[in-house]
Amino acid sequence: MVTINLLPIKSELRRRALIQHGLIGGIALIVLLGSILSLQISMQARRDELNQQIADSKVELARLTKEAQQIEDFKKQKEDLERKLKIISDLNIQKSGPVEILDQLSLMVPEKAWLTSINNSGTSLVIEGVAVDNPTIAHFMKSLQSSQYFKEVELVLSQQEGGNQKFVIKCKISLPA
């Protein structure tokens, strides 16, 4: 006998398959949206972190730039102070140098000689004077040559003037260190 099934099994199966497929598609869509949302949140957090690092780096750069400028200012001040100290040292040497030279010169002048003029031009010194005789001038020149302050001592002029000898001696000045 022929049996006819009047129950809608195929349509029921189709409906169940459609519900299952809809449910699986919905779950996949929810998982996909969750993944996209999670990725978006992590990207946003990473962007915020990078922006914070950029801001921190800018602050650090500004601080380091300021410190570098301060270091440059200190270097300029140091160079300026060193230059000033060198000038002061040179001035002290120059201040005491002529005094020492004149002191040495006054000790070397023989009793029978008198200085009439002393001219200083840089390291050159011209001494003019009057002596009783030529041996006195020679003695004076030997004293100058033996000194540590006078170098290259040379007699420029020696002439009879009245009863005395007029002389001009030229030499170089050197200050001992």
Domains of the chain in sequence order = 109-173 (3.30.70.2830)
**pLDDT: which is higher, 173 or 5:** 173
CA angle 159, 161, 163 (to 5 degrees): 120
The tokens for 109 are 């002048």
Instruction: Give CA 27 to chain center in angstroms.
Output: 70
Q: Which residue has the higher pLDDT, 168 or 176?
A: 168
Contact 130, 167 (CB under 8 A): yes
Q: Is the pLDDT of residue 30 over 80?
A: yes
Length of the chain: 177
How far apart are the C-alpha atoms of 50 and 69, rounded to whole Å? Answer: 28
Quick check: 144 pLDDT over 60?
Answer: yes
For the whole prediction, is pTM greater than 0.75?
no
Q: Is the pLDDT of residue 50 over 60?
A: yes
For the chain, the DSSP string reads: ------S-HHHHHHHHHHHHHHHHHHHHHHHHHHHHHHHHHHHHHHHHHHHHHHHHHHHHHHHHHHHHHHHHHHHHHHHHHHHHHHHHHHHHHHHHHHHHHHHHHHHHS-TTEEEEEEEEETTEEEEEEEESSHHHHHHHHHHHHHSSSEEEEEEEEEEEETTEEEEEEEEEE----
pLDDT in tens, 80-121: 999 999 998 877 766 656 777 888 888 888 888 999 999 988
Higher pLDDT, 92 or 133: 133
Mean pLDDT (whole number) for 22-41: 95
Please state the rounded mean pLDDT for residues 118-131: 89
